Structure formats: structure tokens, C-alpha cells
Amino acid sequence: MKPLNEEDSRKLFFNRIFFSEEACPGQLRDVSVEILKKCAGLPLAIISISSLLASESSQQKERWKHVQNSLGSVSGTNLTLEAMRYILNLSYKNLSHHLKTCFLYLGMFPEDYTIYRDDLVGLWISEGFVSTACGQSPEQTAISYFNELVNRSLIQPLWIDVGGSVRSCKVHDMLLDLILYKCAEENFITPVDNPEAITGQLQKPRRMLFNLAGATLPGDVSMSQVRSFAMWRGSMNIPSLSYFKYLRVFIADFRFSSADDNQKINLIGLCKLYQLRHKQIRGCWNCQLPTQIRGLQMLETFHIDGSCIPMDIFLLPHLLDLRVPGVKRLPEGIGKVKSLQHLYPFDTLHTSLDSIKGLELTNLSSLVLTTVFSEDVDMDVLNSSLAKLCNLEWLKIFSSSIPEALTLSPPPPNLVTLLMRKRSGRAPNWIGELHNLQNLDLTVEKLNKDGVGILAELPALIYLQLKFDRALEETIAIDGAAFPVLKRFDVTWENMRHLAFQAGAMPKLQRLHLDLNARGWNQDENAAPTGIEHLLALERIYVMIVSGTEYEKRSAESAIRSAINMHPSHAHITQKGFRPALYYKANRTTSIQQGPTHTHAHTYGGPQGQIVHEDGLLHCLS
């Protein structure tokens, strides 16, 4: 990568620490010049050192001088790999013990792999890396560890949700090089990817990253010390599970293996790994899995993509996370697993009435409910059972038609995210009782002024995705002071209706996504949204135009361009996608907040590798 020039280097360095070069105290100017010389314009080096300085008191000259002196042996021109490793190692050495452990664990993932935050923090917990903080759950503490690594620029954010939380990340290849170097030094993770070096590598491996496609391990290699096993390439030749006496984590992906019906991968031995806490298997159709796992009394996480599940799984007293998207019928008694916090899915159509009545998952925080509602589903029983889920924070309901009889009243007081696809009738009144709701994805048949009013008064709502088949009024009006904290609004409608934003509406809206049907657009000159100029915080508009003739689509595009040009930012619109689409971006920059601390999204490529926060994702533009 081409080094940055001096001006861009200073900008990247000072913006990371002080948010502007002008804010840098005078006593730090000279030492900052010397530090930047050592970085030789390499974005990763600049980001690493500036993040290290920003993590401590940024005003202490002694601290800055210490960092400068620590870089004494580094040449300021043509940095070698060893020199870059030395610079990055400064950031590593500055981590607390628990953060060092969590950082090194990123070496369990392949190069350039997308790592989801919730999966990663779950693994940290299963490994025993997370200490319990006063007043926090292990999951909350682990997320704070994750955010600290983001803030120190040791992991690259990929997906940032509208609330500012980093939900997925990657590890820069040079940081991964440092991780694997440290893992080898400390015997933390042992990659097994070279058959010729197996004997020399495997002395007493503690965590094994198994990447052998066709080779097998020598018979004299001891596996009794292995605590974690991860395999991402679907090898047919994994070691016998009987070797792993004390395994805590088992991750395997067999989706692309060459197994067939006559030669499935034998994983029946998993039922005898009595220390196992985390079990995650993809490509279950290529495997033989145990039908009983009641002996896994320590198991906390069970993720598989198969269609069968052990019928005794409800006997596991520490089970926290059950994700079995291919399973329609859960075992009887699953509703009694009071330790359970995450369940995906619960299908009411294939679940007995007694199981629905028996839902006592008082610790459940996230639930995916899937069903085809019919006369066989007793709505009173289902409503009563849902009312017991007092700690629910995240609920998704998928159905071809969700009846109006389904209610969340009284609603879970801590519900933050609600998805309902697709609800017959109108927006339900009980949604107005969800005072902590931040994210709402709602598909309804009809929308009227009262329905908009219910949603508009939700005090914590920051993301609304709304889809409706038809409106009951000619104009959908967003009144002044409506949606006081909304940051993103996605709206889709099948039949053309006029959308009007009044002065004062959505005062904090940053992104507007419109999915429009252009049929009949040329017959109504006033069909384009009006009042966009009142959305004073608006930064981006994305418009997708579907259906209609080419003339209708061009008419719609012209009308929408005219409406957007009324906005005071006067930004340009560009064409995107294989379908007619408009993308508008205002000339503003935003900071991303996560809880009480800043979560910064950085680029390692300067102007040629700018990371843009769009659509809940970070896109690298080349």
C-alpha cells in the first residue's frame, strides 16, 4: 500500500487522538513529529500508535516520549515486516492481561474471516476469559472487552448498526501475523495446516486451528491438553474425538466436505466430551451426530444447521444459547430450561399445546418465533406464554400472516428490538407501550394516520423499517415533533401514496431509505415525497424504484431528484445498482457512539481506502 503523504499522516494521527490537529496541545507537537517519522506514512502504523496514545491520558508528554523512545530502533523509511510487528507489539504490550487473552483468541479464525461480535464474545465466555464485573452479566462484560479492542484499533469494524454498535469485524493481516507470532511464543493457539511440520508443531497444543484438507495427524500426537478445536475447511480427516478428553470448544464447518451417505463424518463421540461448553457445527448433513447428549452437563452453546436435535437436550442445566434454524419441532420440555437466554427458532405450528403452555423461560433475552398461524394455534395460550418472558430484549416473528389476536400486552419492559413479518391488519396499539424499543421492523397490510401516530410517539425508537401494502389515507403525513430520536427510516409501499414530512419531524434522522413502486407515477405530479428539506439532520437518502414502465421510472426519478434538491445540504445524487436506484449523500461526517465510550471506525487506506458507514455496513471504496 502506498504510504500517506505528510499532511494525510498528520490528519489521521491527530484526528484519532484529538479529533483535529488544532486541538493538539503545544507541548506535544515536537514529539508527535518524531513519532510520525517512525511510522513512515503507513496507515496501520499511524492508527496503531495513535490508538495506543488515545487509550491513555493524551495530555501526558512523558507518555508520548516513552512511546517515541520505544520506537527508537525502528527506521522511519521502508518499514520491514519485523519493524511493523515491533510497532504493533507496543499496542499489544499495553493491553491488560484479559484483553491480551481475548485479542490472541482472534487467531482461531481464518485470514480475512468476518467475525460476528456475538459469536466471539460467546466463545470468550465459554473459554473462561471473561471475569464477572459488579452489576454486569458475563455477556455485557465481554462486549466491553470487544469495544475496547475496537477503540484501540486492534480489530477492524465491518458492520456498525444504526445505534453505533460494532456487530462484526475483521483482523488486519499484519495484526493477524502478530497474533499468530504471539500464539506460537506462548503456545496459545497451534495452527495445523502443514502436514510436513505437524510433528514439530504439536508438542502440547492447547487450542487447535485445524486446516488440513487431506492429511492426517500422526498417531503419537497427544490431544489430551487441547481445550479448543476449530476447523473451517471441512476436512474428512479430523482427529478421533476420543483423544479430546478436556475439550471445551468444538467448532467445525463441513458444508464443503466430500462426505456422502456412505461415508459421513463420525461425530457421535461428542456426547462423551463432558467438559464441552460450546458446540457449533455447520454442514450437519455430512455428519453423524449423537442422538443423546445428556452427559454434557457443562454445555452452554448449541449451534447446528441440521434438522434433528437430541431429544434430551432439555436436561442440560447450563444451556444458554440454542440456535437450530433447521429444526421445526423442539423436544418436549424445552420450555423448562430456565437457564436459556437465546432460542432460535420456536415454531408454534409444530409444537404441542402443552409445550407452549409450559414456556417458563424467564431468563430468555432473544427469541425467533416462526409459524403459520392456524386454528391449531391457541392464541390465548401463546399470548399468556409470551407474557411470561419478562426479560425479553429481542423478538422476531416470521409468518405469512400474523393475526391481530397476537399481542404483547403487557409488553416485555426491556424489549429493544421487534420484527414482525407479516401482520394482518394495522399497526397494533400495544406497540405504543414498548417504551424501550429502539429497533422496529414491521410489515402490515394497512397503514393509517393512527398507526403512524402510535409509532411516532415511541420515545427510544432509532431505527424503523416499515412496509405496508396499502395506505388508508391519500397522504401519509409525518407530523412535527414525531419520531424524536429516529436515526434511520426505511419505508416500502406497494401502492403509490404521498409521503409528507412536516417541519420539526424526525429531527435526528440521518438516513432515509425509500423503496417505491413507480406504477402510475406520471399520472400524479405530486407523488414524490415532500418536506425532505425539513429533515435537517439528514445525511443519506437511498431510493430504490421498482415496477412500472421505463417512462414511469424516469418520471419518478426526476420528481425525487427535485424533492431532494430542496434539502439545504445540496448534495449530489448518484445512480446505483442493477435496478434504478438513487443514492444521496450529504457533505457531513459523523461520530459513532457506543455506550459511554466512543467506538471509532478507522480506515487503513487513507483517501484511497475510505470506509463509508452505509446501510448498517462499512464499505471499502477503491
* Predicted model pTM: 0.83
pLDDT at 618: 25
Residues 458 and 547 in one domain: yes
Q: What b/e readout covers 514-525, taking b as 16+ CB neighbours within 10 angstroms?
A: bbbbbbebbeee
Among residues 93, 128, 157, the one where a domain terminates is 93
Residues 550 and 613 in one domain: no
Residue 220 falls inside a structural domain: no
Residue 605 falls inside a structural domain: yes
Record the cell numbers describing residue 162, joined without a space.
Answer: 444504526
Residue 583 falls inside a structural domain: yes
pLDDT at 567: 84
Residue 232 falls inside a structural domain: no
- Beta pairing partners, 228: 207, 249
Distance, in Å, from the CA atom of 569 to the CA atom of 513, rounded to the nearest integer, reads: 17
What is the helix (H) or strand (E) element at residue 620, kind and residue range?
strand 617-620
Residues 410 and 465 in one domain: no
Residue 136 falls inside a structural domain: yes
Spans of the chain below 50 pLDDT: 571-580, 587-622
For 252-295, the DSSP string reads: EE-TT---BTTB-EE-GGGGG-TT--EEEEE-GGGEE--S--TT
Place of cell 391488519: 425
Orientation angle between helical segments 81-93 and 173-186, nearest 10 degrees? 70
Residues 409 and 334 in one domain: yes
Distance, in Å, from the CA atom of 330 to the CA atom of 54, rounded to the nearest integer, reads: 49
Residue 116 falls inside a structural domain: yes
pLDDT at 417: 96
pLDDT at 589: 33
Residues 571 and 471 in one domain: yes
Residues 401 and 481 in one domain: no
pLDDT at 68: 83
Residues 482 and 566 in one domain: yes
Place of cell 401463546: 382
CATH number at residue 109: 1.10.10
pLDDT at 100: 96
pLDDT at 383: 86
pLDDT at 588: 42
Print the SS3 string covering 36-102.
HHHHCCCHHHHHHHHHHHHCCCCCCHHHHHHHHHHCCCCCCCCCCHHHHHHHHHHHHHCCCHHHHHH
Among residues 50, 77, 93, the one where a domain terminates is 93
Distance, in Å, from the CA atom of 446 to the CA atom of 422, rounded to the nearest integer, reads: 11
Distance, in Å, from the CA atom of 429 to the CA atom of 121, rounded to the nearest integer, reads: 36
Record the cell numbers describing residue 377, joined without a space.
Answer: 394455534
Among residues 93, 120, 154, the one where a domain terminates is 93
Residues 124 and 86 in one domain: no
pLDDT at 572: 41
Residues 479 and 560 in one domain: yes
Distance, in Å, from the CA atom of 399 to the CA atom of 373, rounded to the nearest integer, reads: 7
Residues 114 and 40 in one domain: no
Residues 460 and 585 in one domain: yes
Residues 479 and 389 in one domain: no
Residue 60 falls inside a structural domain: yes
Residue 286 falls inside a structural domain: no
Distance, in Å, from the CA atom of 491 to the CA atom of 426, rounded to the nearest integer, reads: 15
Distance, in Å, from the CA atom of 242 to the CA atom of 540, rounded to the nearest integer, reads: 56
| Number of domains observed in the structure of the chain | 4
- Give the range of the structural domain holding residue 559, as residue numbers without chain letter: 450-589
